Structure 1
Amino acid sequence: MEDVTTILVLLVAVALGGFMVRLSPVPLPLPILQIGLGALLAYATDFETELQPELFFLLFLPPLLFLDGWRIPKRGLFRDATTIVELALGLVVFTVLGVGLFIHWMIPAMPLAVAFALAAVLSPTDPIAVSAIAARVPIPHRLMHILEGESLLNDASGLVCLRFATAAAMTGAFSLSSALLTFVVVSLGGIAVGVLVTLAVKRVQALLVARIGEDAGLQILVSLLIPFGAYLAAEHFHFSGILAAVAAGIAMNYAELHVASEAETRMRKAAVWDTVQVTLNGAIFVLLGEQLPAILDRAADTVAEVWLLPVYVVAIVLALGLLRLGWVWASLQFTIYRARRRGGPRPVVRWRVLLATSLAGVRGAITLAGVLTLPLALPDGTPFPARDLAIFLAMGVILASLVGGSLLLPIVLRGLRLPLEDHHAREEDEARNLAADAAVREIERVQHELAAGRADADLYAEAAARSMEPYHRRIDGAQLTEAEAERFRTIIEIERSLRLAGLKAEREALFRLRRARQLEDGTLTRLVREIDLAETRLRA
């Protein structure tokens, strides 16, 4: 019963934080508010949670990493693969070594292996936090795609490095050659297991759906189980469960391109996964806030003076920022050099975009989840050295990077004139026109098939004409001049607003009928569902 109460309290805190951040008159990063709510719970109540690192790792990380791999734009990921790999792998190793040595030099009480473990969990960035900060200011689409790709890969690489550093701290031994070989084996094995689990599950699903039909609830449940299955299968074979979860998400994206679900299943699945993401991210920060008082007390015992704790946090944040800025600058110079070798034009990058790329290294839920998985004790039973200090420093870096990003990114990007990226709009228009053309041809084919030999064939022709009308309008709109096309788009937008207003009135009328007991619940649900689907399509 106590565990159930704990879960309910966490969920209430996550929901309350979401409402509070929306009601706040000033922009406030949600993680900071959630940490504050967790700390308030610890100080004001007897609420206490004992975290088991391995269980925490299993429950929180696989679904979050799976979702990152599933939803990240794949074309941008492969288009900028070189830049993303430089940031996600090269920068991670650079950060682990540079910041790890710096932390050990600054805090001798923290063993070198633990310092490397802390640096490893500080290396992943959080694209959700960056997106929330950048929502108020312009940011180049391509830069955002690079940051998202970096986050996806550095989540995995950073957490794999954490495992190696933790193992070194637990055993007291480390071999670079052995670690590199192990890294390659566990990485490739984890990726293979993740892909195979997803493809196998989707294949079985397709066979079952073809035989018994599709059930949205079952499809969603299976999608929720895939990341855990991939993670546990990889760990069973001593591969990287982290990379297995990421690879399973990427494979899920490609599998769904070939085995399409019904529209209702896709909508419900997206809503469920949005809820999972909000809940897990929020619960991580609330849990940290709840443990913050005890962590602070124990962390203070590791250092000579309590006032040194914020100094350490600031020093680590500055070290991370400077290392990231140096790496981004070096990566840019390498890109320019390659462009010159190929005889292409020299890439033009404004210094503010360069600085924004560095400031966008905001830490978030993955960093926090990783540091909370540090073991509680060494194999001989003694407490894991400097564990609470590492957790406190990671928490301080997260808060400082969130606040710093919220304050500095808008300043750096304000007034930035971005190059026009109209190829996205053109690509979307072309795709819509091709889809409309395919729809018209299919409607004509089905119409002739259904009306063949029937006396009322004219009814089918009229129905087909009505069905094809919106597609013909879309195709005709693509053949207009620029001025005519702008007028056409304005008319479409006005029509969209009018149709949304009509759908709203339609729904309210149905609710009035139900309140007057003139409509059955089942009929109301079905009709409102149709209106909701139409409204969702118009707002897409």
Structure 2
Amino acid sequence: MNSFEIVLAMLLAVVASGYLLRLLPLPLPLPLLQIALGVLIAVFFRNGVMLEPDIFFILFLPPLLFLDGWRIPKNDLLRDKGIILAMALGLVVFTVLGAGYMIHWMIPSLPLPVAFALAAVVSPTDPVAVSSIAARSLFPKRLTHILQGESILNDASGLVCFRFAVAAATTGTFSFTSATLAFLWLAAGGIAIGVIVTLLITGAQQWLTRRLDEPVGSSILVNMLLPFGAYMAAEHLHTSGILAAVSAGIVMSHVELSGQTLASTRIKRSAVWDTVQFSLNGVMFVLLGEQLPHILRGAGESIGQGTHMSRWWLAGYALAISTGLIMLRFIWVWGTLRLMMFKQSKSHARVTRLQLRLVLATSLAGARGAITLAGVMTLPLTLPSGDVFPARDLTILLASAIILLSLLAASIGLPRLLGGMYFPDEPAALQAEDRARREAAEAAIAAIGQAQLELMSRSPDPEIYPQAAAYVIGLYQYRLGADSDSDFGEGRSHERDHAEKVLRLAALQAERTTIFQLALHGQLSDDFSRKLVREIDLIEARYH
């Protein structure tokens, strides 16, 4: 079976997984079903895919990290930056050290640098898995945003630690000082390159759009190529392509607030990115399933070199490591929250009550997924000396098993752990959305009046516009809860329909500008701004 047919089979498996999930009598995490379909592909076709680690990394990670950075709520990220950074940076280092030594102690045949590499690659939580699990388990929104922020940032920190561990495994040397300096260069350089590349590309694109109009397909294609450009530029300059892709996504969300993209482009682009995200995540898990038989055979050979000859020890090792990761996460989360409560009591602020069930839920919610899989697949096949990389298949198998166990633990444990708990919506967020809708409606009414005067000054039939304006303004007054005496349907004509269309488009543009300004100044969250702008875009699409 050639490569094209294998890729086609994997894409068909991703499509089928969405339908099969709805046919199953019991709820099953979608990644587990996709892994099972990948195993079936491997069994049926027998010839597996030979993966080039570098190609695998660049194909899958940049767009996923870019999209995560683009869509994460920035206001919530800044509000809870303390605990998010503690979990995204401190927890990663704590996990690498604790789990690394534990893995090497359990499996002496696994060299310590390789054990650290395994601990590093399983330290990041997966943003897609976290979001889907949080949505199913009815997490409070603020905790969901904290988990999402952690999963975005720990991708970078975990994979950077993984890179250092792999370098130590291949070269046999490690210097803490040089590693610290290299980390600072990787982080600062990667972030800077992501920002610069995004600003340059989007600036050039907006300049061309103002002069030559905007071809929708080309604009979307440039947007999809942007994460690859940022990633490759950073890697070429020996900085972190991971952080470049994430920072490019964050900057892209800020650029969007300029409002210069066409509504039709935003609608189509959102659909394209949703498809890309679903496809890439699905193919990665199907590919994991397709690789499992080969990985299992290689891992059996690696484990045979240790003290335990039975392959059943593999399952025990995976379960022990997964349990250890949950315990390390629980210790860190509990300690971080206790420290925050201590600081609150010292500053005479209102002390938040520590709920043990939520701490346990946060520990279980650290599901691993596509990022762990993509990272572990990049383990080099050989050392610089030409020897085979030590225990590569065993490391990949253990990481794959940890992904499965973390998904199972979260999917099964969280609904039972959070059952019966009620988390009301945050009133401040709801008030912000209501205020944004009101301010947008008021801006629309003002824009209608201004557009009416401009159109009347150059129209051969100016009497049409006051009637049309009264009708459109009446719609917004109705939304604001005010009484309206406007004519909602009598005496209509083609000219009046056209006048209403022009005025309504002006009003929608004013609404959208208001939403963008509120989001730009931090008065409205990214989630709500995207939601409101999408509503406006869809209404505008009807008029075109």
- Residue equivalent to 2:432: 427
- Aligned pairs (5 A) from 1:9-28: 9-28=9-28
Q: Say if 2:380 is the partner of 1:375.
A: yes
Q: For the Cα contact (< 8 Å) 1:41–1:47, is it kept in 2?
A: no
Deviation, structure 1 residue 333: 1.0
Note if 1:313 corresponds to 2:318: yes
The one-letter code of the counterpart of 1:463 is: A
Deviation of the 1:47 alpha carbon: 4.0
The superposition leaves residues 182-230 of structure 1 with CA deviations (integer Å, 9 ceiling, x where unpaired) of 1011110000000000011110011000010011111110011110000
Q: Which residue of 1 aligns with 2:394?
A: 389
Q: Does 1:38 align with 2:43?
A: no
In structure 2, the residue matched to 1:95 is 95
In structure 2, distance between residues paired with 1:194 and 1:148: 20
Amino acid at match of 2:210: A
Q: How does 1:434-449 map to 2 (within 5 A)?
A: 434-449=439-454
Tell me what 1:105 maps to.
105
Distance, in Å, in 2 between the alignment partners of 1:26 and 1:536 is: 40
Aligned counterparts of 1:192 and 1:453: Cα–Cα separation in 2: 50
Aligned positions of 1:321-340 closer than 5 A: 321-340=326-345
Q: Which of residues 412, 436, 456 in structure 1 aligns to 2:461?
A: 456
Contact 1:53 1:373 in 2 (8 A): yes
| 1:361 is aligned to 2:361 | no
Q: Deviations over 1:312-347 (max 9, x none)?
A: 011001100000000000100111122122220111
How big is the shift at 1:354? 1.2
The equivalent residue for 1:223 is: 223
1:198 aligns with 2:203: no
Equivalent position of 2:510 in the other structure = none
Q: 2: distance between equivalents of 1:123 and 1:535?
A: 44
Q: In the superposition, relative to structure 1, how do residues 461 and 390 fare at CA in structure 2: closer, same or farther (>3 Å)?
A: same
Where does residue 252 of structure 1 map in the other structure? 252
- Could you give the per-residue CA deviations for residues 445-487 of structure 1, whole angstroms, max 9, x where no partner exists? 1111111265622211111122222211112269xxxxxxxxx
Check conservation: 2:292, 2:397, Cα contact below 8 A: yes
For 1:343, the equivalent position in structure 2 comes to: 348
Look up the equivalent residue of 2:208 and give its one-letter code: L
Residue 135 of structure 2 corresponds to 135
Q: AA paired with 1:276?
A: V
> 1:148 corresponds to which residue?
148
- Alignment match, 2:514: none
**Inter-partner Cα distance in structure 2 for 1:275 and 1:412:** 32
Q: Secondary structure at the match of 1:177?
A: helix
Q: How far apart are the structure 2 equivalents of 1:535 and 1:218?
A: 21
User: Could you say if the C-alpha distance between residues 366 and 258 of structure 1 is closer, same or farther in structure 2, counting changes exceeding 3 Å?
Assistant: same
Compute the displacement of 1:349 (Å): 2.9
One-letter amino acid matched to 1:183: F
CA distance in 2, matches of 1:73, 1:252: 13
Q: For the Cα contact (< 8 Å) 2:263–2:540, is it kept in 1?
A: no
Report the Cα distance in structure 2 between the residues aligned to 1:310 and 1:394, rounded to whole angstroms.
Answer: 12
Quote the residue 1:60 is aligned against.
60
The alpha carbon displacement at 1:420 in A equals 4.4
Give the match for residue 291 of structure 1: 291
Q: CA RMSD in A?
A: 1.8
- Unpaired runs of at least 5, structure 1: 479-531
**C-alpha deviation, 1:23, in angstroms:** 2.5
The amino acid that maps onto 1:90 is: G
Moved more, 274-283 or 460-469: 460-469
The aligned amino acid for 2:416 is I
> How many residues are aligned here?
485
Rounded to whole Å, the distance in 2 between the matches of 1:259 and 1:452 is 28
Query: 2: CA distance between counterparts of 1:140 and 1:54?
Result: 38
Are the counterparts in 2 of residues 134 and 410 from structure 1 also a CA contact under 8 Å?
Answer: no
What's the secondary structure of 1:408's corresponding residue? helix
Map 1:231-246 → 2, pairs under 5 A: 231-246=231-246
Q: Given the two structures, how large is their TM-score scaled by the length of structure 2?
A: 0.87
Asked if the contact 1:70–1:249 (Cα under 8 Å) also holds between the matched residues in 2, the reply is yes
Normalising by structure 1, we get a TM-score of 0.87
Deviation at 1:258, TM superposition (A): 1.7
Instruction: Supply the distance in 2 between the matched residues of 1:453 and 1:536 (Cα, whole angstroms).
Output: 26
Q: What is the CA-CA distance between 1:534 and the residue it aligns to? A: 4.6
2:160 partner SS: helix
CA–CA distance in structure 1, aligned partners of residues 372 and 458 of structure 2: 67
Task: Report the secondary structure of 1:302's partner residue.
Answer: helix
The unaligned stretches of length 5 or more in structure 2 are: 304-308, 484-536
C-alpha displacement of 1:131: 2.7
CA–CA separation in structure 2 for the residues paired with 1:385 and 1:379: 12
> Cα deviation per residue 1:158-195 (whole Å; 9 max; x = unaligned)?
01111101111110000011101110111100000000
- Provide the C-alpha distance between the structure 2 equivalents of 1:305 and 1:465, rounded to a whole number of angstroms: 81
* CA distance 1:144–1:477, shift in 2 (3 Å): farther
Change (3 A) 1:48 1:96: same
Instruction: Single out whichever of 126-135 and 406-415 deviates more from structure 2.
Output: 126-135
Amino acid corresponding to residue 379 of structure 1 in structure 2: P
Give the structure 2 partner of residue 398 of structure 1: 403
1:221, 1:75 → 2: CA distance? 28
Separation in structure 2 between the aligned mates of residue 97 and residue 453 of structure 1, nearest angstrom? 73
Taking the aligned partners of 1:389 and 1:186, their CA distance within structure 2 comes to 29
> Structure 2: which amino acid aligns with 1:211?
R
Q: Which residue of 1 aligns with 2:80?
A: 80
Name the SS of the counterpart of 1:258 in structure 2. Answer: coil
* Contact 2:364–2:413 under 8 Å retained in 1: yes
In the other structure, the counterpart of 2:163 is: 163
Measure the CA separation in 2 of the matches of 1:254 and 1:534. Answer: 23
Task: Summarize deviations over 1:116-148 as a string: whole Å, max 9, x none.
Answer: 010011001123223323333321110000000
Residue aligning to 1:473:
478
Distance 2:23 2:540 in 1: 26
User: In percent, how many aligned pairs have the same letter?
Assistant: 54
Do the aligned partners of 2:134 and 2:144 also contact (CA within 8 Å) in 1? no
Q: Structure 1's 420 and 66: CA in aligned 2 closer, same or farther, altered over 3 A?
A: closer
* Cα distance between partner residues in 2 of 1:533 and 1:162: 43
Counterpart amino acid of residue 104 in structure 1: H
Residues 320/536 of structure 1: CA separation in 2 closer, same or farther (3 Å cut): farther
Give the structure 1 partner of residue 492 of structure 2.
none
Residues 270 and 455 (structure 1), Cα distance of their counterparts in 2 relative to 1, 3 Å cut:
closer
Counterpart of 2:263?
263
Kindly provide the amino acid, as one letter, of the partner of residue 60 in structure 1: F
Q: What one-letter code is carried by the residue in structure 1 that aligns with 2:61? A: L
Q: CA deviation at 1:418?
A: 2.0
Q: State the alpha-carbon separation in 2 of the partners of residues 184 and 109 from structure 1.
A: 32
